[in-house]
Structure 1
Amino acid sequence: METKNNHYFYVLECANQSLYAGYTNNLEKRVATHNAGKGAKYTKAHLPVKCVYFETYETKHEAMRAEYAFKQLKRSEKLKYIGGHQHEITKK
């Protein structure tokens, strides 16, 4: 059984100001993995990254559906989507 609200759709801002969207069930660990150069081929080439937006979902399916929908948007639409609702993840 999946844990409630433990599924994340997240958006990273890369060093070149590009956006990268993904799914995880452990947001802080996933951002650290990206910054270690082990998260994804794209982010490895555009370090460092910072999490600028995330949403939590009850199921993996819902989070991945949100990620897919976000990826279909044009850059201007993505910026509008995340604008005003940014949550930067800080290290504890």
Structure 2
Amino acid sequence: FVRDTLLEDIRGLLQISHADRFAEIFRLQLFRFLAPFFGAVIIASPLPDELGVALLGLSEMSTKKFAVFSFVLNAAGIFIIGGIARTIV
């Protein structure tokens, strides 16, 4: 199932010109599925949150859910970094 749709997406991208290829990536089913996941990883990491916020914004999440989700991810990221620092020291 995934292999067939992934191959169709890749074939479709290869037939599109270079200018339209970037815009077409945002319409892929795989991108719509993975964008919130990558956004959550970026928000939980020490990287700047703006890219993660943009990726989560593509998932059309409500503002209230986004605020709670962002808070939880930032807190989890802080605890993970603290745990890593503790194991190193």
Q: What's the TM-score bracket when you normalise by the shorter of the two chains?
A: under 0.3
Greater fraction strand: 1
TM superposition score normalised by structure 2:
0.27
Bigger RCO (CA 8 Å, 6+ sep): 1
